[in-house]
Amino acid sequence: MTSKRQQLEQWTTVVADTGDLEKIAALRPHDATTNPSLLLAAARDERFRYLLDQARELAREMGHGDDLAWCCDAFACVAGQAVLEHIPGLVSTEVDARLSFDTAATVAKARRLMALYRELGVDGDRVLIKAAATWEGIQAARILEEEGIHCNLTLVFAVEQALAAAEAGATLISPFVGRIRDWHVKQGLEINHIDQDPGVQSVRRIFHLLKARGLETIVMGASFRNAAEIEALAGCDRLTISPALLDELGNDDGKLERRLEDTNVEPDTEWQPVNEAAFRWSLNDNPMACDLLSDGIRRFAADQRALEQRLTEEEIAA
């Protein structure tokens, strides 16, 4: 029998949403995504303590062994290198969320991460630099893509974020599903069918708009609450999925229907690029996107601070 995961992989590249190396090795996805939350979980796991040691050594080799920020960046990169040993595709490594409103600082941090990856002997084409889809983050991606550094714009909750990122030439965007659903449910929305899920609707709209406009940016749905949301987006370019949901799909032999295709999208040749004023107004005028983008940045920043604390404690104990 063919599982739903196997059926999904006929149309969609499956990405593991975890920093757990053992689970990645067992699940064998094509790509993997990391973020400060996942790296923090790995840093607290005794199985991956050796990565902390490798990070400190790498920072010392680069002449910054006493710099906490360099040690954190090094940890992200040695973790990314370890992930790449278990997958054939790409790994996403995130820029410090506290830089989300600073284009120059985001560019500088991305260049540093790529320098660390080069020191580790990692092919830069296998790395996606991940940044929040703020206006500043999108402009940083524009600069980085021109330099040949591929980017993943994350925390996408609004169409304007997706369009601006694609127009800037971002390699990939990560529109979220579950967090949008959660926000609307909290506001009292009752969802009786998966096609009514506002997170699913958002990704579908983004997918079709980008394809209609001939924008080549990869659409990767993220943040899933259940397998039904994943099934409703079968055919999306990529989907980043937690180990638990990957297991659920792998153990389900039911029939899966393709829901998204780019071959039957009517071209849109009269669109206008999103400018900064329109971008900022659209977010301001969208309470859901405004709330969730801000909350996502705060959460990742908090986990980054917790990761720094963890590395500090390890240094003291060493």
Domains of the chain, residue spans: 4-317
Q: Is the pLDDT of residue 318 over 60?
A: no
Please, what is the Cα angle at 100 between 99 and 106, to 5 degrees?
A: 55
| 168-186 average pLDDT score | 98
State residue 265 phi and psi, 5-degree precision.
Answer: -90, 130
* CATH hierarchy code of domain 4-317: 3.20.20.70
Indicate the Cα dihedral angle 261, 262, 265, 268, nearest 10°.
Answer: 150
| 20-44 average pLDDT score | 91
Start-to-end C-alpha separation, the chain = 51
Q: Quick one: which H or E segment has residue 230? A: helix 227-231
| 40-56 average pLDDT score | 90
Residue 129 contacts residue 152 (beta carbons within 8 Å) = yes
Strand partners, 129: 93, 151
Active centre residues (catalytic): 130
At residue 298, what is the residue type? R
At residue 190, what is the residue type? E
Q: Is the pLDDT of residue 121 over 60?
A: yes
pLDDT band at 316 (very low <50, low <70, confident <90, very high): low
Using the 8-state DSSP alphabet, how is residue 315 labeled?
H
